[in-house]
Amino acid sequence: MNFAAWNVRGINKAPHQKELQSFISVNNVHFMGILETKVKSDKAPIISKKVKKEWKWLFNYTHHYNGRVWVGWNPEFWDISLHSMTSQVITCNAVFLEKNLTFLVSFIYAHNDAVDRAPLWDYCLNLSSTSSPWCLLGDFNCVTNLSEISGGREHFTPDMQAFQDCLANCGLDRVRTVGDIFTWSNKRLLNPVFKCLDRMVANGAWFNLFTEGNSQDFFEVVDKAWSKPCTGNSYARFACKLKELKVLLRQFNKDHGNVSSNVSTARANLEEFQLNMLNTEDASLLSVENNLIKDLNLALAEEESLFLQKSRVKWMGLGDGNNSFFHQQCKAHWNRNKILVLQDESGTMVHGQQLCADVAVRYFQQLLGP
């Protein structure tokens, strides 16, 4: 099941249409949100059919003269109906026919101005009461924190806070992706700026629907600690098990990568490279520096996530009970850490839990023996 959103920045010209057709074909996409087409309303039926003749289409020209969002789908694979639309979003009721999966999809192209974006956050909040699996993807034209910016004047702004509040109040968490997190740049060779403006987020019901596995290794650690014999009264036995669990989880964290150590390493690599750059004006080195900055930002984001979990701000009020908040956070945590794609021994990229598991098993069998 593949669907996508892409800010194409114009498809009036034939080469741009062919590029879009190629993307759809290569990625086997049959349901897609196309953003910033720059196509006038009278030409939309003609150009959309040039892109995919057999597809059906929705446009939001009734809410914005420029038709900022298009949605197209192949009716052989999808049953799509309009839920609602504004100048910044088209939300669809989607049914993937092959597996009879039903959910809501919102394709987003947010306005550039923070004031104009505000109605989008209100729209999302109103829709968040749905019990259906719901995902939102596209160009939000805003970042949530400084780790999603590289270069330029970096400072936390009110519109970042508004975006953060929207995600938190709607119960939305980022769907993990592969590839570069920075999806926009100002294209400058000197003082380039990179931002993460495009993303996919989803609610707890979405993660429940599409969770392909569980944290079995984590549960095994917990089970090992909890099965240790302890003496004394109930409180003493409980404290004993927690102490044992703390030791095992500390080792578990080291085995799965030390977050703080990753930050130190990434920062040291960047500082060493920047010191060596002082005596050169080679513009090509900027790309190397940008990659090191991205590595540091990613490590900082992971460390920030760990510290947020340790702070237990929400857990104090919500997480101690066996409630929906607890389960939603577990699903979101699993989503952020799952493996989406692996390269097998022949160099082919494989997707999906079972295929990735098979590749991993073969690799370690060859490495360690049966």
* Portion of the chain with pLDDT greater than 70, in percent: 82
Highest-confidence range of 124-138, 271-285, 346-360, by mean pLDDT? 124-138
Distance CA 262, CA 296 (A): 8
Residue 44 Cα distances to 37, 38, 93, 108, angstroms:
9, 10, 22, 19
Model pTM score: 0.61
DSSP 8-class letter at 51: H
Cβ pair 144, 163 in contact under 8 A: yes
Per-state percent for the chain, helix, strand, coil, to nearest 5: 50, 20, 35
Q: Which residues contact 320 (CB under 8 A, 6 or more apart)?
A: none
Kindly report, residue by residue over 139-153, the tens digit of the pLDDT. 999 999 888 888 877
Which position has the higher pLDDT, 315 or 94? 94
Cβ pair 73, 85 in contact under 8 A: no
* Mean per-residue pLDDT, 210-222: 65
Residue 363's pLDDT band (cuts 50, 70, 90)? confident
Kindly report, residue by residue over 31-82, the tens digit of the pLDDT. 999 999 999 999 999 999 999 999 999 999 999 988 899 999 999 999 999 9
Residue type, 245: L
pLDDT of residue 304: 61
Least confident range from 10-24, 68-82, 261-275: namely: 261-275
pLDDT of residue 213: 45
User: What's 4-206's CATH class?
Assistant: alpha beta
Kindly report, residue by residue over 101-127, the tens digit of the pLDDT. 999 999 999 999 999 999 999 999 999
**DSSP letters along 178-224, please?**
-S-S--EE---SSS--EE--EEEEE-HHHHHHH-----HHHHHHHHH
